[in-house]
Amino acid sequence: MDWLSDKPIPRAERLIFALDVPTPEAARALAEQLGDSVQFYKLGLEIFMAGGYWELVDWLAARGKKIFVDLKFFDVPATVAGAVRRLNGRGVELCTVHGNDSMLRAACEARQDVKVLAVTVLTSLDRGDLDDLGFQCDAKTLVLSRARRALEMGCDGIVSSGLEAPEIRRELGPKLLAVTPGIRPVENRPADDQKRTVDVEQAFRGGADYIVVGRPIRNAADPRAAAEGIQATLAELFPQG
């Protein structure tokens, strides 16, 4: 079944670029190079640890870019709530929480103008990794369980591999936003730490509302051309914009 998203999301914003670079200076230079080929940026742990994170958030917001704070908050509920509360009014569109029901609930209660995404299972994990972590189930079962809890706790969406997104749509419907990382072009699936990957069209036809792309753009000979190529695929999938 085709689960192509019909949520009112501007087409160009369905591509989220993972700005995983060593310094804020490198981040700004890459954002300048990408120009209008990317409208939405994910800022994760690497750039957070480099310093100048919030200055970069403000710099991107001042240029009209959407921002996804991907710090995967995981702590006692009061601390998670405090972290989410700090995002309100900062021009941040999305943030991630990686925890149990009480953490998810606390995050949702603290949000105002930021949407809370629950992390299900990292796309770098496969069944062997889950066995190592003590989970007695496969990735699909665990993802669906966590997605169901996220919906019950009031989360706006989930982060999920494109391999599991169709099952989430089938079981839980369209309400949750589905953000899908681990996107790899069909013709170039590199040997890296991403194990549960799909291509752009697979992700969206499987139910993704957004895709997160990092290395296929960042490591391309021409990052802007790589981003424009993905935007061209989006134009075919979502001709109405």
In this predicted structure, the answer to whether residue 130 has a pLDDT above a threshold of 50 is no
CA–CA distance, 12 with 64 (Å, rounded to integer): 13
The model's confidence at residue 22, banded by pLDDT at 50, 70 and 90, is very high
CA distance linking residue 140 with residue 184, whole number of Å: 20
Q: CA of 20: how far to CAs of 28, 185, 204, in Å?
A: 12, 19, 23
Q: What is the rounded distance in angstroms from the CA atom of residue 25 to the CA atom of residue 42?
A: 16
Where residue 122 falls among pLDDT bands split at 50, 70, 90? low
The catalytic site residues sit at 72
pLDDT tens digit sequence for 145-187? 889 999 999 999 999 888 888 889 999 999 999 999 988 764 4
pLDDT of the residue at 165: 86
Residues paired with 90 in a beta bridge: none
pLDDT one-digit tens code per residue, 138-153: 666 777 888 999 999 9
Beta carbons of 90 and 57 less than 8 angstroms apart: yes
CA distance 164 to 196: 9
pTM above 0.85, yes or no: yes
Domains identified in the chain and CATH numbers: 11-236 (3.20.20.70)
